[in-house]
Structure 1
Amino acid sequence: MKKILIFSDEYLGKGGGAGVVADQLFNDFKRQGDECYLLTYKSIPSWVPSFFWIIYYPVLLVIQYFRTRYDLIVCNDPKAIYTLGLLNRLGFKFNYKCIMHGSEYRIFSECISFVNRIVLFKYFFQISINKAMEVIFVSKCVKKQSQNSFDITNKNLKVVYAGVELAIFTPPEKINTPESKNKIILTVARVIKGKGHFEFLEEFKKVLSNDSSFRWHVVGDGMDLDLLKSAVQTAGLEEFVIFHGKVNRVDIIKLYRNSYVFVLLTKLKEAFGLVFIEANSQGCAVIGPNKHGVKEAIENGVNGYLVDNLNCVSGLILDKSKISSITPEACIKHSQKFCSSKFALEVKEL
């Protein structure tokens, strides 16, 4: 049994994929018999100004470490990685690993803030990743991006795919074939322009012009949700597009199981495509763009389709032979390659 601290400012209720992975690691470590602890944004009292994390996290980590003597600290997001670099420079030595999720390079290449410059974020961040026991990348895409963005001298680098929690995303007892399902097209993502909702709306119009029995279910909220609803209303498609907002995991699983196909035409530089794997885990075929980390989540013609041209998506959906050739059994089998418990074992391996 190991004493493991998961250090991640991002956690459920704040941030994106890194927060989900932190929760998965916590649950899987506990299932595997380890003594697991958390240090997240929830560890900082609400009355503390947000920018004080740069003082609060190092102090809190040192206090907790000398109380508990962790065997391993898992740094799961940029603030955690930075904090270990700062403490390392101050002479503190810890056994820690860094997980890179893909958003790190943007901090330094796309939005170098004044605060980040003042606190020498990139300097201490790079110290941290180069002093870590190991740096873990959640995809080959993330590893390549990181090596292009940072001066990484650490030789202990590896790619380990994050996965779904099989304890939650258990395969359905009864597997429905695409032919037996309702004609539901499902999208699960934050509703922002970069996620491709507006592009798919144009493709969905083409689908309806050929088969009006289809319905598009949109799960998630975001800054452009009202804009998307307005676009749907302007197109006169209110009865064909169902907005669910944020839903719990139980309801998401039901939607995955009942959907004809899952579609997400993201234009962002996705680190991976965990949402595609979630859909696969419930026997649902997927369609996504042939670029960045999504390419590593979809095996073309096996668990779904990768598209180079978004204009061909409507044709794929309408081609029954194409969708039917992606069997639910193949989707489930593919998803089981990406299991969160396997990820946890790789992370804590010393």
Structure 2
Amino acid sequence: MADKVLLITEEFPPCVGGAGSVAFQNARELGRRIEVSVLTRRRKGTRELAIGEPFSVRLVQTVPKVWAFPFALKLRQLDLSLYDIIILNDIGAAYAAALALTDEELERSVVYTHGAESEQILSSPTLRHRLSGISFLYWRAIQKCNCIIAVSEFRKGQFVDTVGVDSIGQKTSVVYSGVDRSTFYPDSANIRGRHDIAGHTDILLSASRLVERKGYADMLEVFTELHRAGHSFHWIVAGDGPYRNTLLRNVEQAGMSPWVTWVGELSKDVLRTYYSSVDLFWLLSEFQEAFGLVYLEANACGTPVIGRELGGVSEAIDDGVNGFLVANHTDCKKILAERYYRKIKRKDILDWANTLDVEATVHRLRTVMNEVATSTEFSEKDI
């Protein structure tokens, strides 16, 4: 059994990102059941963030551009025999571990793959990647590790196809990034009054980093066409990023400013009140998203969703059950115009979120970890 875990991650809150969120979530949920230690980069606020959490944190003071070497040095100072499993949460962690760990230590490791960055390092490394040796070392990590975890079936397919090695595919498992039901749940807050939105107007919400390929141009086109056709909607946009000023300008040029509200980046607790108060969450991302956790967060608050049928989003949305998958903005416009989302049962939405909550996904992670620990024990006995 895996009772003591070392989780190594280059990215960790308050550094925002999908990999860091998964690391924090896994550390918290695993820490409620077993002993978990997190090794991550020293950042302002990380130690304070961990106060009261069921895991311990070790911080590494790093140097820009050569940060992996202090990481590796710290790893060599630890007694790694104390840990049943070592989780390498991201590429940075795998890089540092491949620098520092022996083959036997890597065989007790689990490597996470969150996005297509790993394929770029393996198949199309930059000059910097080649000079730093990261491609070679990352390859060593995934070859020697006991198991690779992908955050969706789509992500697994991407990774295995790129690597093209049967043995890598055979040891790659899927563990979804579950939604935290202690943070996201139906909330009684009323944002309609807060933003002075009329009772007969349906509220749409989008929340993401504001970058062009998250689908905001398509959504604005749909929203504008619906308004000009006489449909009553109000759109709330949460988040910030480099596309914000362009989107703001495009909204003004389309004459939609009275019906679009900007709320900026929101804490998870505040975001929960928005998810719970709106009629629909929509995000038509053009990225090959590894998964679609943001849709599950909305579902956990009882809200139906619309997402583009692309990448791992198709695994987060069961079409017609918790929301809708669309191929283009024409499909999306029809769903909105006909108010099809009103026909989705709230119970079905919440039931779907329950099947992919953090408790279920961490149970799956523990199963994988125990299999790794068991296989390692037998291997050591053979020796």
What TM-score, normalized to structure 2?
0.83
Q: Which of residues 118, 132, 136 in structure 1 aligns to 2:145?
A: 132
Answer whether contact 2:307 2:326 (CA < 8 A) is retained.
Answer: yes
Cα shift at 1:241: 0.9
Q: SS of 1:52's equivalent? A: coil
Determine whether 1:44 maps to 2:63: no
Distance 2:106 2:255 in 1: 62
| Letter in structure 2 aligned against 1:95 | R
Instruction: Note the C-alpha offset of 1:22.
Output: 0.7
Structure 1 residues 199 and 137: alpha-carbon distance in aligned structure 2, compared to 1, 3 A threshold: same
2:346 paired with 1:328: yes
Query: Which residue does 2:333 correspond to in 1?
Result: 314
Question: 1:181/1:188 Cα in 2 relative to 1: closer, same or farther (>3 Å)?
Answer: farther
Match of 1:168 in 2: 183
Q: Equivalent residue of 2:281, what SS? A: strand
Separation (CA, whole Å) in 1 of partners of 2:201 and 2:301: 15
Does the CA-based 8 Å contact 1:276-1:298 persist in structure 2? yes
| TM alignment of 1:1-350, pairs within 5 A | 2-32=3-33, 34-42=34-42, 43-45=59-61, 48-66=62-80, 69-88=82-101, 93=106, 95-108=108-121, 112-152=125-165, 153-154=167-168, 155-172=170-187, 183-211=202-230, 213-320=232-339, 322-348=340-366, 349-350=369-370
Could you tell me how far apart the structure 2 residues matched to 1:113 and 1:240 are? 44
Task: Spell out, residue by residue over 1:109-164, the C-alpha distance to the aligned partner (whole angstroms, 9 max, x if none).
Answer: 78632221112222211221122121111111111110122244233221121111
Aligned residues: 340
Q: Contact 1:184–1:214 at 8 Å: present in 2 too? A: yes
Q: How far off its partner does 1:215 sit?
A: 0.9
Question: What SS does the corresponding residue of 1:11 show, helix, strand or coil?
Answer: coil
Residue 276 of structure 2 contacts residue 301 of structure 2 at CA under 8 Å; is this kept in 1? yes
* Residues 182 and 260 in structure 1, CA contact (< 8 A), matched pair in contact too: no
How many Å separate the matches in 2 of 1:109 and 1:209?
49
SS in 1 for 2:225: helix
Task: Output the amino acid matched with 1:69.
Answer: L
Q: Is the 8 A contact 1:96 1:132 kept in 2?
A: yes
The separation in 2 between residues aligned to 1:56 and 1:181, in whole angstroms, is 58
Distance, in Å, in 1 between the alignment partners of 2:118 and 2:282 is 27
In the alignment, structure 2 segments of 5+ residues that lack a partner are 43-58, 190-198, 371-383
CA shift for structure 1 position 80: 0.8
**Contact 2:107 2:144 (C-alpha < 8 Å) held by counterparts:** no
Shift in Å at residue 72 of structure 1?
A: 1.5
TM-score by length of 1: 0.90
Kept after mapping to 1: 8 A contact 2:91/2:138: yes
The structure-2 alpha-carbon separation of the partners of 1:31 and 1:86, relative to structure 1 and needing over 3 Å to count, comes to same
- 1:15 deviates by 4.7
Stretches (4+) displaced over 6 A = none
8 Å CA contact 1:105–1:149 kept in 2: the answer is: no
Once the two structures are TM-superposed, the CA of residue 225 in structure 1 deviates from its matched residue by 1.0
Say what the alpha-carbon RMSD is for the aligned residues: 2.3
Change (3 A) 1:126 1:220: same
Counterpart amino acid of 2:171? N
C-alpha displacement at 1:238, in angstroms?
1.8
Give 5+ residue unaligned stretches, structure 1: 175-179
